[in-house]
Amino acid sequence: MSSVDPKSFNTPKSEIFAPDQVDNIARAVLTLTREVAVLSDRVMVLEEVLGQKGVDVREAVDTYQPSEEFQARADASTQLILKNVIAALQGADGGD
C-alpha cells in the first residue's frame, strides 16, 4: 500500500495565476459574463418575437445542422470571444 494520497494529484501545487493577476481574472470573468448576458437576452427576444408570430423555434434550434458557411461564421465568433477573454486574462484589452 502506498503512503501517497491519491487525491494529492488532483490539484497541482503550482499557482495558475499570480496574486497580481487577480484583476486580469476579474476582467475575464466580467467579459464572459457580459457575453453570456447579451447572448441570453438576444435568444430570449428572438424566441419571444418568433413565438408571437406563431413560430416555435425551440425544437428547430435543438435539431439544427449548420451549413459550412454558417459554421465558419460561428467558429469566427467563438474565436473572437476567446481572443477577448485571453486578452483580459493577460491584462490587455481585446479591442473587440
Domain ranges within the chain, ordered by starting residue: 20-89
* Residue 12 confidence (pLDDT): 58
Please name which of 86, 82, 78 lies closest in space to residue 24, comparing C-alpha atoms. 86
The predicted-structure confidence for 17-27, as pLDDT tens digits, reads as follows 777 888 888 88
Q: Which amino acid makes up residue 46?
A: L
Global model pTM greater than 0.75: no
Which is more confidently placed, 30 or 95?
30
Cα 17 to Cα 2: distance, rounded to the nearest angstrom = 32
* Residue 87 confidence (pLDDT): 83
The predicted-structure confidence for 7-43, as pLDDT tens digits, reads as follows 666 665 666 677 788 888 888 888 889 989 999 999 9
Could you give the C-alpha distances from 27 to 31, 60, 83, 88, in angstroms and in order? 6, 35, 13, 6
